[in-house]
Amino acid sequence: MNGVFAINKPSGVTSSDVVQTVSRIFDNSAVFANDLSEARKLKREQLTAGTRWTKSKIENRVARLKTKVGHGGTLDPMASGVLIIGVGSGTKQLKYFLGECTKTYEATAMVGQSTTTGDSEGEVLTRTETEHVTLEKLKSAARKFTGKGKQTPPLFSALKVDGMALYDYARQGIPLPRAIEAREATVHALEVHEFGVDDKYKPMKLESDSDGKTLASMLASNSTLNDSELIYSDDFMADESVPESEKATLVHPRMLAEDAPPRPSLPVFTATATVGSGTYIRSLLSDIGRAVESSAHMVALKRTQQSDWKAGVNTFELSDITERDERLWGPVLKRAFDNGADIVVEEEFKKAEEMMGPLFEAEAKAEAAAEAAAEAVKAEAEAEAETKGGSSAGAETKDGSPDEASQAEVKEDVKGETSQAEVNGENGAAEDEHAAKKQKTD
């Protein structure tokens, strides 16, 4: 059981969480028992022949051997969608998914606020106007980033220049000693679909420091932050039909007044992007916001496809592994290992359920019968206990008085004791009379 499959990662968990969960289940399942046994046997032979370790040390090391599991490209905790999983020798195939394949995303971004992280997990960095932004302007901006080009990381990323984090340069207003090194990025397709207010997404609240100042107000006029140029794709810049004015890369956002009150709602736009490995969707959405003289940050992200693996088609739900019987997911997983992305997971589960259905039904009936038998035994034991309890209660009536039979037995006992006393008394009198006569004779 070695190969590659895909899981539809739910939002709210890390990619590593998914790998650890799957690995733990695989290690304790019969599906991978033979593979794990063979791997441990081989490891034991290698350690025995290649080391001078004691037998107990070798066995401890062998016992720690687990099913090898890895993933083919991290998804942020807030993101959902296709996560490629490699198992056993299948982990060797992950290199392709990490560096060569294309990925498609569906994203939602809020216009009017930028953040330190480019998504809703960070702090509000800038507040900008949104009234001038339209769907057509966003669509036009998206075309500027489509094609081969380069992409710079956000200024508030953890990357460092001359040993100092970009975050610190921006916060302190210190000019960068040199330009941030841009990275190769390819956007095969980028399209904005919708634009407008969605009550599902609320503007982020401004956080203040001990002096009551917000990060947005402190950085409102920061040159390092505001004067960084956008990088449009090589294809767009080479297009002679595009006016030179449209190719201007230094675009200043229309900043909101520092004393402007919080806004109850802000518009969002949705976009679909198909990109090469190494392209940051957060940065792409942020750049679109800046290109329309505003700002934006990502509020939702789903990876709908990676290479040939598509969400809802040939991907497992995490619950398929964590909640279903391994006799169901085991055969389906084997099909994925054997056929790659050329499967429909839901159909494979239906086939497995049809095959295992009679067995599961028989097991359910047997379990129900066993439970019924156990309940019957329990009820019988309780009834017997109640019967014994009634007998040892002194055979009392409901009002606590002795019944007639008991009274008769008591009377008979008393009568017997009285008769015996009378007999004893008569014998005693006869003995006294005999003793008196003997004394007189003497």
Q: Which residues are catalytic?
A: 76
Residues, the chain:
442
DSSP strand pairing (80-87 vs 296-306): parallel
- Residue 119 · residue 299 · CB < 8 Å: yes
Candidates 207, 232, 218; CA nearest to 290 is 232
- SS3 label, residue 308: coil
Which tokens go with 257? 């007044």
Give residue 317's identity as a one-letter amino acid code.
E
CA distance 195 to 364: 52
**Cα angle for residues 280, 283, 284 (degrees, 5° grid):** 85
3-state SS string over 110-173? EECEEECCCECCCCEEEEECCCCCCHHHHHHHHHHCCEEEEECCCCCCCCEECCEEHHHHHHHC
Smallest CA-to-CA distance from 105 within 269, 307, 275 is with 275
Q: How close are the terminal C-alpha atoms of the chain, in Å? A: 119
Cα separation, 254 vs 328, whole angstroms: 57
d(CA 195, CA 138): 9
Q: How many whole angstroms from its chain centre is CA 7?
A: 12
Residue pair 201/268 in contact by the 8 Å Cβ criterion:
yes
